Amino acid sequence: MIEDENTCLEKKISKFLLKVSSFPTGDQLSQKTREILQRCSKNILKQSCDDALLSYYQTEYRIYQCVERQICQPEIARVFKDIDDFLKTASSIMNRRKARAGRSLENHVDHILNDFKLQHKMQPKIDGNPDIIIPHEEAYYDSKYPKNKLFIIGVKTTCKDRWR
């Protein structure tokens, strides 16, 4: 019997969870997500960049939720001392989720840019702290480099009203 993509994903995720006792780093989780998807999805390498990015990002979130449930369950099942203890725990979980989501998206964008051999630098040390510069920091500081070939990119999971 041929295994469908979802069944394959569930099996691979379950197998991965057996080895997890603490939160993997963002890089580790992103890498594991791509490995799992590339084994279970026949079409992932044929998808457009946008579709592949969404698949990686959504699958990583699915895996993260499983890891989170496994690791955080004892913490949230306990009796809280008071409302502040509860809110502190909830805040910690939410902050971890937000940080992971941003790192996940950056990791998968970096992976796709590398796949296409597009010269770029993640987290360059330039004004404004962008997430990506294409092609590199040296071009940014070179006044002779053509400005129409220089790209500065912010990789964000949400749009905030402070953006202009």
Residue 160 reports pLDDT greater than 80: no
Beta strand segments in the chain, E: 121-122, 132-134, 151-153
CA contacts within 13 A on the Cβ side of 106: 21
Report d(CA 113, CA 134) in Å as an integer: 10
**What is the distance between the alpha carbons of residues 12 and 27, in angstroms, rounded to a whole number?**
18
Strands 121-122 vs 132-134: parallel, antiparallel or unpaired? antiparallel
Mean pLDDT (the chain) is 92
Domain 5-117 bears CATH identifier 3.40.91.80: yes
Share of the chain above pLDDT 90, in %: 83
E-assigned strands of 51-162? 121-122, 132-134, 151-153
What share of the chain has pLDDT > 70, as a percent? 96
Query: Which pair of structure tokens corresponds to residue 22?
Result: 């603490």
Q: Are 105 and 157 in contact (CB under 8 A)?
A: yes
Enumerate residues 6+ apart whose C-beta is below 8 A from 120. 110, 113, 132, 133, 134, 135, 136
pLDDT digits (tens, 9 = 90+) for 50-106: 999 999 999 999 999 999 999 999 999 999 999 999 999 999 999 999 889 989 999
Q: 9-60: per-residue pLDDT in tens?
A: 999 999 999 999 999 999 999 999 999 999 999 888 899 999 999 999 999 9
Let me know: does 39 contact 66? Beta carbons within 8 Å.
no
Catalytic residue numbers read 140
pLDDT at site 9:
96
pLDDT at 161: 56
Confidence of residue 158 (pLDDT cuts 50, 70, 90): confident
Domain with CATH 3.40.91.80 in the chain: 5-117
pLDDT over 60 at 164, yes or no: no
